[in-house]
Amino acid sequence: MQQVHPRVLTSNPEPRSTTNPYITMLTAALRRTPGVEVVTFSPRAALFGRYDVVHLHWPETILGLGGRRSSARLARWVLTALLLARLTLTRTPVVRTVHNVEHPADAGPLQRLLLRWFDRLTTHRILLNDRTECPGPTTTIPHGHYRDWYTGPRSPVVPGRLQYVGLVRRYKGVEGLVEAFRSIVDDSLTLGIAGAASAPELAATVSALADGDPRVTLRFDFLSDDELVAAVTAAELVVLPYRFMHNSGTVLAALSLDRPVLVPDTAVNADLATEVGPGWIHTFTGDLTGPDIEAALSAARAPRAASPDLGAREWADAGHAHLAIYRLALSRAVSGVRT
């Protein structure tokens, strides 16, 4: 039987230097995979282009959530509705990678209606871990590592250095990290926080909490890849004090750079600890405390392997696994059976 060579429209535009590395690396992996053709998102491609399957990542990006101008938001909503109508009429199969388990909190009633429409059209979901619960057929394809992406110069490890990197958002608990760190009296420890803040008010809150402690350095700005490498590799321990964590590319970025992490005690992180080997994943329960940080740092100083085991997260494997799902979704659509 001849193999199907699907033409896939992805929900992301052509990757740029500021694109999420996961999207850039997955797009590249798919383009290296024989048997699949990738078409990145544009209004023209979505409404008038030829494609067999749609692959959604964050459908809210099509909606333009976070846009400032009302005219631009309205145009995005119209585009989304037209795309959804096309997909409905043509019965085009929709595959979705589940990055977040809930719709964005800032989505309004119309936006939620359109997002639910996407949900109804989705015929197969790709999970990044086995702990995600979703309706309908699913397949787990682990989030790929970043070893081939973060290749900039590494910093020498600074004894006692703790580091947070990534966007500073309310649910990521950076305020609690600063408070927990300041409760530690050890002057040999330092804390760096680096990443753009989601709101000026949040940056002001974190700054006020850190004020007066010279051990804390703040940088509320986007980091280039090389700056992220330098910050992470200088740390003895990367601390991600999220109030809620399900999938985290930042954890994998730190592990790809051979740095241990302190993260919430969740089933997903417990599975990851088993996967990568001892000494790399350290956890806390409830609200992060100073003793949590001190205990994790002490544990991170114990002997461990030179690098975590990320062998299950190769991008070539991810490319072939995605192609298999596209073919499955397309074959089921042709036969009239929902995947």
For the segment 107-111, the average pLDDT, to the nearest whole number, is 81
Which of the two residues, 71 and 180, has the higher pLDDT score? 180
What pLDDT was estimated at residue 2? 60
What pLDDT was estimated at residue 321? 97
For the segment 219-228, the average pLDDT, to the nearest whole number, is 95
Which of the two residues, 247 and 90, has the higher pLDDT score? 90
What pLDDT was estimated at residue 4? 79
For the segment 261-265, the average pLDDT, to the nearest whole number, is 97
What pLDDT was estimated at residue 250? 95
For the segment 82-89, the average pLDDT, to the nearest whole number, is 97
pLDDT tens digits, 127-184: 999 999 988 899 999 999 999 999 999 999 999 999 999 999 999 999 999 999 999 9
Identity of residue 152: G
Parse the chain into domains and list their residue ranges.
7-144+314-335, 161-312
* Average pLDDT across the chain, whole number: 93
For the segment 312-334, the average pLDDT, to the nearest whole number, is 93
Alpha-carbon distance of 245 to 268, in angstroms, equals 9
This prediction has a pTM of 0.89
Q: Tokens 């740029």, residue?
A: 16
What pLDDT was estimated at residue 324? 96
For the segment 270-299, the average pLDDT, to the nearest whole number, is 97
Strand order of the β-sheet with 94-98 is 37-39, 7-10, 53-56, 94-98, 122-127, 138-140
CATH of domain 7-144+314-335: 3.40.50
Q: Is the pLDDT of residue 335 over 60?
A: yes
For the segment 54-74, the average pLDDT, to the nearest whole number, is 79
What pLDDT was estimated at residue 1? 46
Q: Is the pLDDT of residue 72 over 50?
A: yes
Four-residue CA torsion sign, 72, 77, 81, 87: positive
For the segment 329-335, the average pLDDT, to the nearest whole number, is 83
Alpha-carbon distance of 226 to 41, in angstroms, equals 28
| Bridge partners, residue 242, by sequence | none
What pLDDT was estimated at residue 68? 56
Identity of residue 338: R
Identity of residue 285: T
pLDDT tens digits, 5-35: 999 999 999 999 888 999 999 999 999 999 9
pLDDT tens digits, 226-247: 999 999 999 999 999 998 888 8
CATH code matching the domain that covers 161-312, chosen among 3.40.50.2000, 3.40.47.10, 1.20.120.140, 3.20.20.20? 3.40.50.2000
